[in-house]
Amino acid sequence: MKESVTYQAILKEGRAAGLEEGREEEARRILLVQGTKRFGKPPVKIRKSIETITELAVFERLAVRLLDVDSWSDLLAGVD
């Protein structure tokens, strides 16, 4: 069974999904660490908003915006 093309495809797909999820978690962690250093501990509402983000592109935009805004609310304003 381990030699099966279907089995191998399922494994590959699972690995890719796991890697993507890991990247999202790491991006979220870094955003929270850097944002906390800049703005202080995020309010629960902000933290929940950040936890709903699942696209790496959004985390990248937020990482750039982090340098130009003055608060958590400003950072998340207009997040897609």
Over residues 7-13, the mean pLDDT reads 60
Segment (H or E) for 70? none
Q: What are phi and psi of 68, to 5 degrees?
A: -115, -5
Residue whose structure tokens are 């130009």: 68
* Every domain of the chain and the residues it spans: 5-76
pTM of the predicted model, to two decimals? Answer: 0.76
- The tens digit of pLDDT for each residue in 24-79 reads 999 999 999 999 999 999 999 999 999 999 999 999 999 999 999 999 999 999 78
